[in-house]
Structure 1
Amino acid sequence: MFFHSINKTLSLSLLHPHMAPELFRLVDDNRAYLSQWLGWVVHTTSPADSAGFIRQSLHDHAEGRRLICGIHDHQQGRARLVGTVSFNEIMPATGRASLGYWLGARWQGRGLMTQACQAMVQLAFEHYDLQKVQISAATGNTRSRAICERLGARLEGVVTRAESVNGVVHDHAVYGLARDNHP
């Protein structure tokens, strides 16, 4: 089981089936916000949907294709799931991984996601021996784009009409972090 302690109050772990009810509650509590940017939210209608997602993510992890981690806040005496950060795709043949993330609105603005993404970038370069981490964010998603900039990612371009989320077509800003340029 993958577990990574970032600091005393923040950790990452591989999602596990017992987390399905908590993951569903987090998605459900943030449904309106998340639905603006993430197309899968509308398909998450029960804890069983979250359990199926976790089972698939564990299968994909075992095959080396993805790594989906829960972000856990350890304040107030217990670990609370507050979001996810993931390599949505790991591509050893090209030495690249695509990084994705989301955080419950209540935990935003505290630097948690930046720290979680920094840990994942380090993992990409040191554990997976990859050469590049790529992040794609809707051009209008200023919070997500700010994380890319705090990570030191370089804007590589904009893909127009990249994704339709609940009937809204988004352009995507594509950012890259190269191992050679990373401290």
Structure 2
Amino acid sequence: MASKCFSNKSVKVSLPRPRPRQKSDSRSPKSGGSSSPPVFSPSIQANERTRDLQESFRYFDGDGDGNISIEELRSFFVSIGEDMSSDEAKAVIAEFDSDSDGLLDFQDFAKLMERDSGDVDDLRRAFEMFEVEKGSGCITPKGLQRTLNRLGDERSVEECEAMIRVFDLDGNGVLDFQEFHQMMAA
């Protein structure tokens, strides 16, 4: 993956993304009719995006010092089963390191993530193709098998279970969106 991510001095990093939060509207309707879906302002969505970025940043920042080092960046790739050389990690950090300290602070990390955010919508639509129960937030071995079979790639349930196991970071036997993201990036 690391070699796929670094071309033309640009980087494409797949990050752990938390599951979407359930949004609710605590306002009750003025009349007895049904309530309309909640309306979220851009500032609320921006706050959620910032929280998600902070959660991802903490995942990378293994020692909790508020910065992502070369070793921490490499460690992330190792945790998802990919290799990243020190030179590749240095190149990523150098590209986004605004204060030239050899580390990514949260603002640097946010810039890195914003570069890749456009691909997430496409990936979300692909993820939804594999969901057996729409909106469940996970891909089961049967859902993976069904979709692969529709695409002409005949696989047994056992093969699909093995495919999922490789990217199932939490060991629950299914893929959430983040795990799917990792699988697609590999």
Q: With structure 1 as the length reference, what TM-score do the two structures score?
A: 0.26
Q: With structure 2 as the length reference, what TM-score do the two structures score?
A: 0.25
Greater share of strand residues, 1 or 2? 1
Larger Rg: 2
Larger relative contact order (Cα-Cα within 8 Å, sequence gap ≥ 6) = 2
